[in-house]
């Protein structure tokens, strides 16, 4: 069986080309196009400093129908004022003309350095070149995935098949993100960026698609942090071509929601794994907190602690940093009722340390996957957050990013 990819769901083509936005010869302009206007939903950053393509994209996806997505990397088109919004609309107009749709059926995205106007001569030439190369092969999917990357060191993708009423359906996605990762995404608003694009062949109402995407995002992309820096450009967009089975019955909605959640969690995990300078993913599971909100606050507090992240990089089982981070993250946290495990090894229980072999546990922490499990013992709230360690390489990347 052929490997599933972004264009495996029927009704989609894509392309990615080098237009010269980035100084390297890597692709930096991409198109993802449906063969007809289809159900679509998107969630965007809640940062009050919002990039021009997000402003335009919110308006265009509001009706729940899209035909195309146009993306550039190397320039975020953020903090660029009225000219930035004009340029984002120009990207949409050229894409619409190239694929034969309305301007409002195109969602624009940009990622890269903040505060610089887009090089529109290169962008417009790139959109024309990408439109001429649209196709539905795996190679086209890979080219699009390459075109959205900035400081990423690898492509990030996920795909799967599921069954609706005895008919096969497919869902697939690609994303980018390595630094400036602390998404706070919402269906309505409140450099490097988190971008994700998901395709499926099911037929589904836009209102239902919007609700399911918001739920899936909350448990995946909103649960990943590299440096907790909420970007100006964060975007997740889902398009449903309608070539496959209809999603209407309650059991089918549940099946689709499960498949969507799995794809989003996989992509979120890959972002954490490719965090700038990262050597490992650290998964923080908080269980039995007083409420779900408390569990989330505790998990995120631990994940964002520079001291915890440095300890993870050094394979140091320094449980005190984790417990203290939990303590300042939620007033409901009670150390006397809590149990902390690192890689399954109890290190702290009910207010006191648990004897353990530090050397042996340090070796177990020298893994590309580390599990931090905190049982708060005072409720039923649970949450999971994915992060990575903090290394010297992260500092080098971000110290040199602009210069």
DSSP per-residue string spanning 56-85: HHHHHHTTSEEEEEEEEEEE---S-HHHHH
- Is 193 a catalytic site residue? yes
Segment holding 349, helix H or strand E: strand 345-349
Rounded Cα distance, 316 and 295, in Å = 24
Task: Confirm if 400 and 294 have CB atoms less than 8 A apart.
Answer: no
* 97 C-beta neighbours (distance < 10 Å), count: 14
From the list 13, 80, 124, 193, the catalytic residue is: 193
* Cα 206 to Cα 11, 33, 36, 363, 392, distances in angstroms: 17, 17, 15, 49, 45
* 309 C-beta neighbours (distance < 10 Å), count: 24
Of the candidates 88, 68, 69, the one whose C-alpha atom is nearest the C-alpha of residue 77 is: 88
The sheet carrying 345-349 orders its strands as: 352-353, 345-349, 339-342, 369-375, 281-289, 381-388
Which residues form the catalytic set?
193
């Amino acid at each position: 069986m052929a490997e599933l990819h972004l264009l495996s769901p029927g009704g989609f083509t894509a392309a990615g080309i080098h237009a010269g936005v980035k100084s390297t010869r890597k692709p930096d302009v991409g198109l993802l196009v449906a063969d007809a206007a289809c159900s679509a939903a998107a969630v965007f950053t809640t940062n009050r400093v919002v990039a021009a393509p997000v402003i335009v994209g919110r308006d265009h996806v509001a009706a729940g129908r899209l035909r195309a997505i146009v993306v550039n990397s190397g320039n975020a088109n953020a903090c660029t004022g009225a000219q930035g919004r004009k340029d984002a609309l120009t990207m949409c107009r050229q894409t619409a003309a190239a694929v034969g749709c309305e301007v409002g059926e195109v969602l624009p995205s940009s990622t890269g350095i903040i505060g610089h106007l887009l090089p529109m001569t290169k962008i417009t030439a790139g959109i024309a070149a990408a439109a001429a190369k649209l196709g539905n092969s795996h190679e086209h999917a890979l080219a699009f995935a390459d075109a959205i990357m900035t400081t990423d060191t690898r492509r990030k993708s996920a795909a799967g098949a599921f069954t609706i009423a005895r008919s096969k359906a497919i869902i697939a996605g690609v994303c980018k993100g390595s630094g400036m990762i602390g998404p706070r995404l919402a269906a309505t608003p409140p450099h490097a960026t988190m971008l994700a694009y998901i395709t499926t062949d099911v037929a589904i109402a836009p209102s239902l698609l919007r609700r399911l995407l918001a739920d899936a995002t909350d448990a995946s992309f909103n649960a990943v942090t590299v440096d907790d820096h909420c970007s100006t450009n964060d975007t997740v967009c889902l398009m449903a071509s309608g070539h496959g089975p209809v999603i209407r019955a309650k059991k089918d909605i549940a099946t689709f929601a499960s498949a969507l959640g799995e794809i989003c969690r996989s992509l979120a995990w890959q972002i954490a794994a490719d965090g700038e300078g990262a050597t490992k993913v650290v998964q923080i599971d908080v269980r039995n907190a007083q409420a779900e909100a408390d569990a989330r606050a505790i998990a995120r507090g631990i994940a964002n602690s520079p001291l915890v992240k440095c300890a993870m990089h050094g394979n140091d089982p320094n449980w005190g940093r984790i417990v203290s981070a939990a303590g300042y993250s939620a007033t409901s946290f009670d150390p006397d009722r809590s149990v902390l495990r690192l890689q399954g090894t109890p290190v702290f229980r009910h207010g006191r340390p648990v004897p353990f072999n530090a050397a042996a546990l340090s070796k177990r922490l020298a893994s590309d996957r580390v599990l931090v499990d905190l049982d708060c013992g005072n409720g039923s709230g649970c949450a999971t957050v994915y992060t990575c360690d903090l290394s010297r390489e992260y500092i080098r990347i971000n110290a040199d990013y602009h210069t």
